[in-house]
Amino acid sequence: MRDAIRSTASSRKTIDKAMSLLTVFSHQQPELSVTDLAEILKMDKSIISRLASSLRTWGMLEKNPTTGRLRIGSTAMKIGALFSQRNTMVELSMPVLADLVNQTGHSAHLSILDGLNILVVSTVESPNTLRVIMRVGEQRELHATAAGKLFLALSPPALLDSAYKGTGFKPQTAMTIVSREDLQKGFAKIRKDGIAINRGESTLGAGAIAAPILNKENKVLSAISTVFPLNIVDVQQWVKIEKQTQSAANKLSKRLMEEKF
């Protein structure tokens, strides 16, 4: 019995290490060497090498033949594709996002709450040269994003408590609101207007307007955001984008209610 327990615990630790390794990769770090991974994860290189070898066998990782570095493999991509294809919210959001981009001329994306972050799950880029891009899979902290503020304002207070304790509301730029009290002051307006904004708080020079996707109980499921370079959007355009983004969010909310979300 004890041997079985030890074996189960050992397997769990191995799986945890493998998942820790896989989740290090991101859009900012698409390729990493064994040495990089060992430094980031604080593990011995021999352990990283064994884990990487097993993950490569399963196609979860692959080695770039040019650089020799590791990157996410085809099996992981297939699993991700299956998730996207089967996720009704993602499927229904794409035409809504496309219409929104046609109206505003700016990129738009759908994000969900993922722990203490927002996670981008679908996106349509602006065709314009001057644009802001958010890629599927990107994560951002709640306090520094328009969508994140929506989740904080429209969720139970426990989310704000957890986010503050977990991240400390660190500044992403000089414009980031890092005071819990200052952030809370804006919640009443977000609830009243049904939108949240970001003026260079996550990335300097980038603005965003977000509106919530709600279910029948008026609980926030996700958020649609329009993102754009701040220097090309004047006051009149800003107001117009707010209305267009909110309209798109209402449209998706209605479609999801029809799907009995």
Q: Which domains occur in the chain, in start order?
A: 2-78 (1.10.10.10), 87-258 (3.30.450.40)
What is the token pair recorded at 257? 């209610």
Backbone angles phi, psi at 49, to 5 degrees: -60, -45
What is the model's pLDDT at position 182?
93
Given a cut of 80, whether residue 193 has pLDDT beyond it is: yes
pLDDT grade for 209, boundaries at 50, 70 and 90: very high
Q: How far apart are CA 97 and CA 69, in angstroms?
A: 35
Q: Which of 3-7, 48-52, 141-145, 209-213 is predicted least confidently? A: 3-7
Higher pLDDT, 134 or 259: 134
Q: How far apart are CA 166 and CA 181, in angstroms?
A: 16
Q: How far apart are CA 231 and CA 106, in angstroms?
A: 13
In this prediction the pTM is 0.70
pLDDT grade for 83, boundaries at 50, 70 and 90: low
Given a cut of 80, whether residue 120 has pLDDT beyond it is: yes
**Cβ contact 84:110 at 8 Å:** no
What is the token pair recorded at 184? 């809370």
Higher pLDDT, 75 or 197: 197
- Summarised one tens digit per residue, pLDDT across range 20-57 is 999 999 878 899 999 999 999 999 999 999 999 999 99
Q: How far apart are CA 226 and CA 148, in angstroms?
A: 13
* Residue 133: closest CA among 156, 107, 157: 107
Instruction: Calculate mean pLDDT across residues 100-121.
Output: 94
Please tell me the total number of residues recorded for the chain in this structure: 261
Given a cut of 80, whether residue 250 has pLDDT beyond it is: yes
Helix H segments across 42-156?
45-57, 74-86, 88-104, 146-154
What is the model's pLDDT at position 5?
42
Given a cut of 60, whether residue 15 has pLDDT beyond it is: yes
Residue with tokens 């981008």: 120
Where would I find the beta strands (DSSP E) of 133-175? 139-141
| Candidate ranges 21-35, 158-172, 234-248; pick with highest mean pLDDT | 234-248
Measured CA angle at 200 (ends 130, 94), to 5 deg: 55
Please state, rounded to an integer, the average pLDDT across all residues of the chain. 90
C-alpha dihedral (123, 217, 209, 148), degrees to nearest 10: -80
Instruction: Calculate mean pLDDT across residues 136-147.
Output: 93
Instruction: Calculate mean pLDDT across residues 84-107.
Output: 88
